């Protein structure tokens, strides 16, 4: 894959770091490519701002830090407000539909949203929303082979939760395939943003 900068952000307790570990492991161990990861926490461990940065490439990564992400995954409003301005022009923005309100879209991104928390709750555990998001990311971006990511999920979670997490990945992936076929939501979200500004 060409060099791709990715940021995943949300609040502590959503599994942001594990999401990045899974994707990095899928690229480097199961797909034979290269990945680097760095992470940041807010002052509060659980509930505070949290983000992880990944650089994925088919060649060794010479600079491990994300400067302008090609793909931004956000799972909280605070994360959207903080990191959306960094997104590369024409980049891809993936949002947790029920937790993030997209307004003032920067850099004309392709926007796709998924109700990851609701889909996780349908499986019986809200905590797997991050793996739902990983599945969604895999389908939308097509950067990584689905089987490589599934193997990374299986490798990265406790054995007692493996089946649940694989179901979460599959649920997010299937939702993502449908969303990709439907096309980006950017135009609709921009229209919503305009309407909301006019109402104020």
Instruction: Tell me the mean pLDDT in the region 90-97.
Output: 96
Instruction: Tell me the mean pLDDT in the region 170-178.
Output: 98
Instruction: Tell me the mean pLDDT in the region 161-179.
Output: 98
Taking only the tens place, the pLDDT of each residue in 113-122 is 999 999 999 9
Render the burial of 11-26: b for 16+ CB within 10 Å, e for the rest.
Answer: bbebbbbbbbbbbbbb
Is residue 119 within 8 A of residue 138, CB to CB? The reply is no
What residues have CB less than 8 Å from 19, skipping those under 6 apart? 8, 52, 73, 130, 131, 133, 134
Instruction: Tell me the mean pLDDT in the region 16-21.
Output: 96
| Distance separating alpha carbons of residues 160 and 54, to the nearest angstrom | 28
Provide the pLDDT for residue 92: 96
Domains, the chain, ordered by start: 4-199 (3.40.920.10)
Query: For the whole model, what pTM was predicted?
Result: 0.89
Instruction: Name the band, by pLDDT with cuts 50, 70 and 90, for residue 188.
Output: very low
What residues have CB less than 8 Å from 134, skipping those under 6 apart? 19, 22, 23, 149, 153, 169, 172
């Amino acid at each position: 894959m060409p060099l791709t900068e990715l940021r995943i952000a949300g609040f502590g307790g959503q599994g942001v770091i594990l999401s990045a570990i899974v994707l990095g492991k899928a690229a480097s161990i199961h797909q034979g490519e290269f990945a680097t990861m760095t992470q940041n926490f807010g002052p509060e461990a659980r509930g505070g701002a949290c983000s992880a940065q990944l650089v994925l490439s088919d060649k060794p990564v010479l600079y491990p830090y994300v400067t302008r992400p090609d793909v931004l995954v956000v799972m909280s409003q605070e994360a959207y407000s903080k990191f959306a301005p960094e997104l590369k022009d024409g980049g891809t923005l993936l949002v947790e539909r029920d937790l993030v309100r997209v307004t003032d879209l920067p850099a004309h991104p392709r926007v796709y949203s998924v109700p990851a928390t609701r889909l996780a709750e349908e499986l019986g555990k809200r905590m797997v929303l991050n793996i739902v998001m990983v599945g969604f990311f895999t389908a939308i971006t097509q950067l990584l082979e689905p089987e490589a990511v599934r193997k990374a999920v299986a490798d990265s979670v406790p054995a007692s939760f493996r089946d649940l997490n694989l179901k979460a990945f599959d649920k997010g992936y299937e939702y993502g395939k449908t969303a990709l076929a439907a096309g980006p939501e950017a135009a609709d979200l921009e229209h919503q943003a305009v309407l909301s500004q006019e109402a104020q």
